A = this chain, B = another copy of it.
């Protein structure tokens, strides 16, 4: 999927919601556990109930790997189901990979070719030659960790280096890499004011934003500081949506939670358009 196609979907759906498919067998409705592949059945129901309210799904690969071969099969069935039934959806493998050149190429093939995801998340610590192999794929997107939403983000990401915080240095340096137009960035929503600084460095890039909802970030503030002329945001919510209920009505409840967020996004987009016309 191209960036333009993603932007078009955001405009059509009036939504920049990404739903995190972090499936934990201890949290899904118990009646699903009797089925042959509870993880896939859970995902399928959630996807069918929410696909018109979001533009992206993001399975975190850890939750699938934790169940070994069966988990990997469930991941494969999930991505195939999305690609077959809802090809307009932007898919993210939240894998946070990063390794040296030839190994990164293997990871890129695994996620972009074997599983056919539109994008994958990567870690920046190993630098240029750990990320560029991902960037070499046309119309595939590499979403690099910049500033995360967890407590440990302040251990290293915000340390000052060359007079600026490390995460800003990561953003700046990454712009010099080959095919850097294929980069997006993970930016946590815990402190909305960071977005203003980040937009000075990467005004045009898409930002994937976890931490709205369960982790405490505020949608309105993130949009105020983080939106650009093509929206440029994917706001992720996982637990707040997929675990809204663990009863028989779980998919309907997930839809209701998604609709609440999409309604807010719709209003934000309308206000934003009006303010542009007003100016």
What 1/0 mask marks residues of chain A from 151 to 195 whose CB sits below 8 Å from any chain B CB? 111111101111000100110010000000000000000000000
List chain B residues, Cβ under 8 A from A170. 156
Q: Within A123-176, which residues are at the interface with B (CB < 8 Å)?
A: 123-131, 145, 148-157, 159-162, 166, 169-170, 173
**Distance of A149 Cα from B22 Cα, bound (Å):** 33
**Contact between B72 and A69 (Cβ–Cβ < 8 Å)?**
yes
Partner of A145, one of B65, B125, B148: B125
In the docked arrangement, what's the CA distance between A126 and B154, Å?
A: 8
Instruction: Please tell me if A33 contacts chain B, counting CB pairs below 8 Å.
Output: no
Whether B63 contacts A106 by the Cβ 8 Å rule is: yes
Task: Contacts A68-B76, A104-B62, A106-B62 given; indicate if A151 touches B127 (C-beta within 8 A).
Answer: yes
Question: Per-residue 0/1 for A6-35: is the Cβ within 8 Å of any B Cβ (1 yes, 0 no)?
Answer: 000000000000000010100000000000
Instruction: Write out the residue numbers on chain B whose beta carbons fall within 8 Å of the beta carbon of A131.
Output: 152
Closest CB in chain B relative to A80 CB, distance in Å: 11
Q: Specify how many copies of this chain sit in the oligomer.
A: 2
Q: How large is the interface on A (under 10, 10 to 19, 20 to 34, 35 or more residues)?
A: 35 or more
Query: Which B residues lie within 8 Å of A24 (CB)?
Result: 106
User: Which of A92-100, A197-205, A228-236 lies at the interface with chain B?
Assistant: A92-100
For A129, A130, A156, A162, the residue with the greatest tally of chain B CB atoms inside 10 Å of its CB is A156
Q: Are A68 and B128 in contact (CB under 8 A)?
A: no
Q: Is A73 an interface residue (CB 8 A)?
A: yes
- Which residue in B107, B129, B151 is a CB contact (below 8 Å) of A151? B129
Given contacts A22-B103, A126-B148, 7 further A-B contacts (CB under 8 A): A62-B103, A62-B107, A69-B73, A96-B99, A125-B125, A127-B152, A159-B166
Residues of chain A having any CB pair with chain B under 8 Å: 22, 24, 60, 62-63, 65-69, 72-73, 76, 96-101, 103-104, 106-107, 109-110, 114-115, 123-131, 145, 148-157, 159-162, 166, 169-170, 173
